Amino acid sequence: MTPEAVFILVDGTVMTRDEIAGSLDGMLAWESYEIGDAGLAEPFVALMSSTYRRIDGEPRLALYQQTTVTH
């Protein structure tokens, strides 16, 4: 992420890079996953976009946004 990265979530929550990183502190990386006893739930339908900047030749996430799609 860029130093000024921002996440805008579907509920209106806006998170800075530090808040995003802090929410992931201590989380273990997934090595695999399994879906068991699957059931149906109300789907989460949204448009999601990401904007990247190239810094020192590497893409860095600058903005992530979710927008609810209503039917």
CB 65 within 8 A of CB 49: yes
Q: What is the pTM of this model?
A: 0.70
Split at pLDDT 50, 70, 90, the class of 70 is: confident
What is the reported pLDDT for 38?
86
The domain limits of the chain are 1-23+43-71
**Phi, psi at 53, each rounded to 5°:** -115, 145
List all residues 6 or more positions away from 7 whose beta carbon is below 8 Å from its beta carbon.
13, 14, 15, 20, 63, 64, 65
Instruction: Write the pLDDT tens digit of every residue in 5-28.
Output: 999 999 999 999 999 999 988 888
